[in-house]
Amino acid sequence: MCPVCAKTFYENNPFISGNSKASVATVYNVLNELKRPEATFRYVAEKYHMSASSVANIFDKHICPSRRKLPECLSFDETYAFKSRDSDYVCVLLDYIDKKIVDVLPSRRIRYLMDYFYKIPLKERKNVKYVSFDMWKTYREVSRVMFPNCVCIVDKFHVLQELSRKVTRVRIDAMNRNKKVKDELTRKRKQLKQVHEILSPEDEESLHIAELNYYLLKKFDFVLFSNDPRISDPNDKKRFNRVLNRYCNLNDIYDLVIGIDPQLKEAVEIKDIVHLFYKNTEYANAKEDLEDIIILCRTSNVKGLQDFSNTLCAWKQEIINSFLKIPSINRKMNNALIENRNKSIKLLKHSSNGYTNWNRFRARVLYTLNDDIPMRS
């Protein structure tokens, strides 16, 4: 109280800023906690004896990240993290060289992406030299229009993933055929048993083979895709398998699995050729090697591989470009890094049971994944 005029006033508090009720130290600690993607507003609120809305207000007030400058090497990817009226996916833009998130967009649709990049000056867009993405055609169309100086690269892991799906389909078809035989003969044996009869020796043999084939295709599907060195080692220790009634190792299992169906064997052999293509091929001979693989798939007896040859043709130049080494870092570009960032984004979303405020979600993603986002006073 003023001794002269008798008016009351609040004494200046050096530990808080402005009209805030939280101390500067508390604000700093709250924002520091929110750096972790698994930390929710409610968790931080309980830790610092505040309400969740107060924590959210502190975050909104002090964290307002802007878009980073477009980099030389730009990666596109999407993740299912924020459902809006326009899209179920968010589009993530990553600087491949400095490993920072450039921006997060609420839609991956072509109209939105075109509008977004059109607002960025052409001079800045011309600085983008390499763009990598998965096999979502929109990214290629946007890149060709908006980044006139860029080289488009399709991520090798998505190409191999598409091939793995084709091989898996062949395995499942073979498994289902054996299951059908197994079920029919099992049903027939039960019917014969009711009239005190048994299956013929030929049917018993067919049933036994179908049961073993189904077991192998169902239980040991991983040997077709795993990099475990034991699979290629015939001298690995053998263990007794009660279903097969024999001693065997993973190399034996692999031989049994691919020997079940000729189409499966062919599909696995071509899959291995494609893996070696990505492992050993250099940019200089990538076009020739890729064309050989396209011919191999197109002349295959496996329908899925014939379809895969069309995929390779559609993305031929982008696949060839994936063997280019970026001069500034002397290595090939892929989407492995951005896929890792997507895991953190999904963790952030799942921990909070989802966000409804897009601006807050975007700010939280950028603040969590980039270590240089400033705090506003």
3 within domain boundaries = no
Q: How far apart are CA 252 and CA 232, in angstroms?
A: 9
Say which DSSP state 131 is in: E
Whether residue 220 is found in the same domain as residue 232: yes
At 159-193, the pLDDT tens digits run: 999 999 999 999 999 999 999 999 999 999 999 98
Mean pLDDT of the residues in the chain: 91
- Residue 195 has φ and ψ, to the nearest 5°, of -110, 20
10 within domain boundaries = no
Strand 130-133 vs strand 73-79: parallel, antiparallel, or unpaired? parallel
Whether residue 205 is found in the same domain as residue 115: no
Q: How far apart are CA 177 and CA 183, in angstroms?
A: 10
Domain ends where: 262, 283, 304? 262
Whether residue 166 is found in the same domain as residue 236: yes
Structure tokens that stand for 9 in this block: 């006033």
Find, among 103, 113, 105, 104, the residue nearest to 138 by Cα.
113
* Percent of the chain residues topping a pLDDT of 90: 69
Q: Which H helix or E strand runs over 95?
A: strand 90-95
Q: How far apart are CA 12 and CA 15, in angstroms?
A: 9
151 within domain boundaries = yes
Q: How far apart are CA 138 and CA 268, in angstroms?
A: 31
pLDDT at res. 131: 96
pLDDT at res. 304: 94
- What total of structural domains would you count in the chain? 4
pTM for this prediction: 0.86
Residue 20: is its pLDDT beyond 80? no
Say which DSSP state 190 is in: H
Whether residue 193 is found in the same domain as residue 241: yes
Domain ends where: 62, 82, 116? 62
Whether residue 92 is found in the same domain as residue 40: no
Domain ends where: 246, 262, 278? 262
Whether residue 281 is found in the same domain as residue 338: no
Q: What is the CATH number of the domain that holds 110?
A: 3.30.420.10
pLDDT at res. 80: 86
Q: Is 156 exposed, middle or buried (0-12, 13-18, 19+ CB in 10 A)?
A: buried
CB 78 within 8 Å of CB 46: no
Whether residue 55 is found in the same domain as residue 90: no
pLDDT at res. 337: 87
CB 321 within 8 Å of CB 298: no
Q: How far apart are CA 332 and CA 44, in angstroms?
A: 41
Domain of residue 55 covers 25-62
Residue 14: is its pLDDT beyond 70? no
CB 217 within 8 Å of CB 174: yes
- In the block, residue with structure tokens 């930390």: 39
Residue range 208-221: average pLDDT? 96
Say which DSSP state 77 is in: E
Say which DSSP state 34 is in: T
Helical ranges in the chain per DSSP H: 24-33, 41-47, 52-62, 110-118, 122-125, 137-146, 156-194, 201-219, 250-258, 262-280, 283-298, 303-314, 316-321, 336-351, 358-369
Question: Number of C-alpha atoms within 13 angstroms, CB side, residue 169?
Answer: 12
CB 355 within 8 Å of CB 37: no
Find, among 285, 316, 283, the residue nearest to 298 by Cα.
316
Residue 277: is its pLDDT beyond 90? yes
Structure tokens that stand for 303 in this block: 């329908």
At 326-341, the pLDDT tens digits run: 998 999 998 888 888 8
pLDDT at res. 11: 62
Q: Which H helix or E strand runs over 332?
A: strand 331-332
Q: How far apart are CA 105 and CA 94, in angstroms?
A: 12
